[in-house]
Chain A
Amino acid sequence: MTEKNCREEIIFAGFGGQGVILLGKLMATAAMKAGYEVTYIPSYGAEVRGGTANCSVIIDNEPIASPLVTEPDTLIVMNQASFDKFVPKIKPRGLLVMNTSLIETPPDRDDIEVMGVAADEIAHQLKSPRSANMIALGVYLKKRGLLTPQQVAESLPYVLAKRHHDMLDVNTRALMHGG
């Protein structure tokens, strides 16, 4: 399937309503369908629209013992509050994908790789403002190459509620955009 010891721990974070929980489910589902072992843990309960939301995903080609992510290899972050909370946790030499539409300052670390994407602006250009999450995920996929945007797009129908299936096409295009 893939090379040995392929393991990736990702935290997706943003405010409630930005679709970060959906991103985690989407990535986990696509990785499962590609034959990987996966775990997905959401922050749950006290989250409300406008509050912070996050989830963690582990993708591995070996069975996953602890599903808990304390230091992610990758952080995909959509807003300032989540950026402040999670950037210090990224592993040294890890990857940060940040939504520069809503995060103003660059990270205060020089030991990580940083990819900025104006996810909200690009989503607006695509006439689908709610697809900013998919823009950010597309940037990550292009960089890491663990799964192709096409592979991930194929899992959209499984995680997107049926009432939102009119957004399948535009979300696929957002994933393919790649920043």
Chain B
Amino acid sequence: MSEKILITGNEALAEAAIRAGLEAYFGYPITPQNEITEYMARRMPEEGRVFVQSESELAAINMVFGGAATGKRVMTSSSSPGISLMQEGISYLSGAELPAVVVNIMRGGPGLGNIAPSQSDYFQATRGGGHGDYRTIVLAPSTVQEMADLMFPAFDLADLYRIVVMVLGDGVLGQMMEPVLLEKKQTHRKLPAKDWALTGCAGRSQNIVKSLDLVVPRLEKRNLMLQEKYRRIEENEVMCEGHLLEDAEIVLVAYGIASRVVRTVVSRARKEQIKAGWIRPVTLWPFPSRQIAAAAERARLFLTVELSYGQMFDDVRIAVAGKAPVHFTGRAGGAIPTVEAVLDEVKKLMQPGKVAVER
């Protein structure tokens, strides 16, 4: 069990979900995440668990709602256009406070777009995505190993907070292969009993799972309770890494696949005597605002790098709060910023005497 195997990110994520105790998977095919559905189709029946290939994304997310309401560990996976179709269901899950894991292996948009990698669904993922005042916890892996490892906290956080947890990857992370050690990574979280679940009410009072509430003060109270929960999550669940920040004059901020481009850029910049460092948010919501604010006390400027035209960029600016200029570079529509292009941008920004103007 301690031997590394070479598998795709999609397969690593799927196997880890099964090891994390997934009891029912519902999904509808879409590239570049089909390997997840394919893997689940084979492995879930082997484990005596539920696999359903639904007739649509809308059906899949509502099956997730039903499965979650019974207290089972459930998930679905899709890619950008399919995740857009699921937004109504994600809002309902959030309103009913049901735990579920939703995986988005992002592709080029807008619209049907293409099947190449992208990070253009950041706004949708971190702002709720559907209607109403709600949040989903968003986890952003950057390696195939992490595609597997983050599935354990994903299910635990969902159960702990009765919330939707989104795992936000991209086409490269889904399709690429890297050596992976598949282990059961315990989070050692003490999880509450699911005494709200619909398990048959013989011998106890009836449980009701719903998001509809026509009485204004009651729905307001429910919203305030959700807000209080979101503040607790922001307080306790931020995950982030950083490197070379002690003396960094320029801090590059990137997540997922873009963060790996940035690591190479920073090590090359250091070889050219440019004091660069990097921050990688692992949770996109809650966002590591404090860690970025702390770096802003020392750094001269920030550069956000994304496979989009500047979405996380907004959160970095909010966190930096005017203490330093925040710049952006990125590509989308399936294109990926190259190490060379980002390094050129760093050099341009770090030219002596250069007056930094945002963007």
Contact = CB atoms under 8 A, between A and B. Distances in A.
Contacts of A28: 6, 177
Contact of B171 (A44, A46, A64, A70): A44
| Chain B interface extent, by class | 20 to 34
Interface stretch (B160-168, B208-216, B261-269, B311-319): B261-269
A172 to B, nearest CB: 20
Given A46-B115, A65-B260, A66-B264, A41 B176 contact: yes
Interface stretch (B56-64, B133-141, B333-341): B333-341
Given A32-B4, A45-B32, A25 B177 contact: yes
A45 B338 CA distance: 22
A41 B6 contact: no
B277 to A, nearest CB: 14
Contacts of B176: 39-42, 67
B179 interface: yes
Contacts, number: 59
A173 B61 CA distance: 51
| Chain A interface extent, by class | 20 to 34
A25 B6 CA distance: 8
A28 B179 CA distance: 9
A6 interface: no
Interface string B39-79: 00000000000000000000000000000000000000000
A139 B218 CA distance: 74
Contacts of A70: 338-340
Interface in B154-213: 171-172, 175-179
Interface in A1-45: 25, 28-29, 32, 37-42, 44-45
B256 to A, nearest CB: 12
A147 interface: no
Interface in A27-84: 28-29, 32, 37-42, 44-46, 64-68, 70
Contact of B32 (A39, A44, A66, A67): A44
Nearest to A36: B179
A125 to B, nearest CB: 32
A28 B4 CA distance: 12
A158 B6 CA distance: 10
B326 to A, nearest CB: 22
Contacts of A42: 175-176
B266 to A, nearest CB: 9
Contacts of A41: 172, 175-177
A15 B116 CA distance: 20
B329 interface: no
Contact of B179 (A32, A65, A68, A158): A32
Which of A32, A37, A44 has the largest count of B CB atoms less than 10 A from its CB? A44
B263 A66 contact: yes
B177 A39 contact: yes
B343 to A, nearest CB: 11
Nearest to B342: A66
Nearest to A40: B177
B241 to A, nearest CB: 13
Contacts of B175: 41-42, 44
Nearest to A56: B176
Contacts of A158: 6
B316 to A, nearest CB: 20
Given A45-B31, A46-B115, 10 more contacts: A28-B6, A29-B6, A32-B4, A32-B6, A40-B6, A40-B176, A41-B175, A45-B32, A65-B261, A66-B339
23 contacts: A25-B6, A28-B6, A29-B6, A32-B179, A37-B179, A38-B6, A38-B179, A40-B177, A40-B178, A42-B175, A44-B32, A44-B115, A45-B32, A65-B264, A65-B267, A66-B260, A66-B261, A66-B263, A67-B176, A67-B178, A68-B336, A68-B339, A70-B339
Interface of A: 25, 28-29, 32, 37-42, 44-46, 64-68, 70, 158
